[in-house]
Amino acid sequence: MLRKVLIANRGEIALRVVRACRELDVRSVAVYSDADAHAPHVREADEAVHIGPSPSSESYLKGDVIIAAALTAGADAIHPGYGFLSEREWFARAVRDAGLVWIGPPAEAIAALGSKTAARTLAVAHDVPIVPGTTQALSSSEEAVAVATTFGFPVLLKAAAGGGGKGMRVVRSAAEMAGAWDAARRESQNAFGDDAVYIEKYIEGPRHVEIQVLADQYGTVISLGERECSVQRRHQKMIEEAPSIAVDPALRKRMGEAAVRAARAAGYVNAGTCEFLLDRDGAFYFLEMNTRIQVEHPVTELVTGIDLVQWQIRVASGERLPFAADIAPRGWAMECRLTSEDPVNGFLPSTGRIEYLHVPSGPGVRWDGGIETGSVVGLHYDPMLAKLIVWGTTRDQAVERMARALRELIVDGIETSREFHLRVMEDAEFRAGAIDIQWLERRLPSLLAVPAGEEELRDAAVAAALIAAGDRNGSSARGVAAAPAPAESPWEALARRQGLRRR
């Protein structure tokens, strides 16, 4: 077993890795920027090393500084978490070249899957279904029109070097191609330093379903089933669940086998995720493979009982996977990504000090967070503060439990997505599982407009309290905001704790 792991990350995932290390009796080393000097992940790790100023380009993205910190601290491995350096082939290679263990897939597997055209070629060769389209970059807008005509519009132009939606353009007719071609190439060049673009048939209204795989160094590769990740906005997932309401055991088996074939073909080791589109007819298409632990890994942990982060460390240590076959899910898990964004103001990032944090608990509730009372939320890093994850025996129970947990949650001092998540839990379409990748953006106006029943009552009570407060100060209700702050009444304290504001 590894003895000491340096965690090249911050926030909730750094803390998640610290916890896995502790349960395995492995020492942990945190790294931190100026902004994170007092962060929980720094305090909770056994040791911590300062690596630079607050901007991630000067700290969490400094591969050489991080490797030097690992060597100085006497670590024998690096866990990259997600984001930052986690999918950089050069970093995986540099870690290995420094004599350290990389807790992730081999640099060669990252490279093989990093190019989307290469990944599609690999998929085709191993009988993994892909969306109809090319496995080669195209050379001109005219060629793109010619190819599109063979399988019909609409089509998607995608960045060969890409992923995550950057450099992607929907093209609905030949007339639109030239403009979309230039835009896709420009965006790909800017995002990835590579302007190669290829083409796929555009699938309308699919779900985003992904398969978790786990592979050891001895050729054992297993599927841990799917996650449903369709509830997203601008390529940012907001809610994930496992299993997917759209996947039955037969489909799970076929998708799992396809994912395992893709992982084997790439020489994959460690935890990874195959992303698929699942269309309305139940056909699935491989999109790409993510070569890291993902934000939403806990929902898989809760339905399989397998600690993915511990197994990342154990597999990297050279242990064999002891699981005989693919694991079937038990019950239902759901995750909400709590962000410091204000949904009613177009998800504008919110900053400030967390004046008070009350974390939900009770049956079936898990909190993977990187914040505490007193944390200062700035603009240097991703707005995700924490993940609230629940387990229930059925999907309905998981939804009810999530709603209950969201009501217990109090975050004072900054705006968060809490109430937005609560509204999703109360939404009839969401409850019916009638979701696809466009659902959230389609439903957003009504989600934000209709007050959730219980919240509406609370709003009314708060409005009354504010008016009463204004009256005590001898001002009109309209002038409440300008009145000097009166001593806090119980109603006002309630309003503050609930994080309510006037809409």
For 460-482, give one letter per residue: b (16+ CB within 10 A) or e.
eebbebbeebbeeeeeeeeebee
CB of 47 to ligand MV4, least distance (A): 37
Count the residues in the chain: 503
What's the 3-state SS for 347-405? CEECCEECCEEECCCCCCEEEEECCCCCCEECCCCCCEEEEEEEEECCHHHHHHHHHHH
- What is the amino acid identity at position 490? P
Backbone torsions φ then ψ of 452, nearest 5 degrees: -60, 140
- Nearer Cβ to ligand MV4 (116/314): 116
- Nearer Cβ to ligand MV4 (255/277): 277
For residue 7, give the nearest of 390, 301, 293 by alpha carbon.
Answer: 293
Total Cβ atoms within 10 A of residue 25: 8
Maximal C-alpha separation, the chain:
78
CB of 179 to ligand MV4, least distance (A): 19
238, two tokens: 């907001």
CB of 156 to ligand MV4, least distance (A): 5
What is the DSSP secondary structure assignment for residue 133, as one 8-state letter?
A: B
CB of 225 to ligand MV4, least distance (A): 18
- Nearer Cβ to ligand MV4 (60/198): 198
What is the DSSP secondary structure assignment for residue 272, as one 8-state letter?
A: E
Q: How far out from the chain centre does Cα 166 lie?
A: 16
Total Cβ atoms within 10 A of residue 80: 27
- What is the amino acid identity at position 3? R
Binding stretches for ligand MV4 (CB under 6 A): 131, 156, 163-165, 168, 200-203, 208, 232, 235, 275, 277, 287-288, 437
- Nearer Cβ to ligand MV4 (125/170): 170
Distances in Å between the Cα of 285 and the Cα atoms of 174, 232, 275, 323 are: 25, 19, 8, 27
- Nearer Cβ to ligand MV4 (441/454): 441
- Nearer Cβ to ligand MV4 (235/502): 235
- Nearer Cβ to ligand MV4 (212/350): 212
CB of 165 to ligand MV4, least distance (A): 4
CB of 279 to ligand MV4, least distance (A): 9
CB of 57 to ligand MV4, least distance (A): 24
Q: 3-class SS at 196?
A: coil
CB of 150 to ligand MV4, least distance (A): 15
Contact predicate 378/39, CB 8 Å:
no
- Nearer Cβ to ligand MV4 (268/286): 286
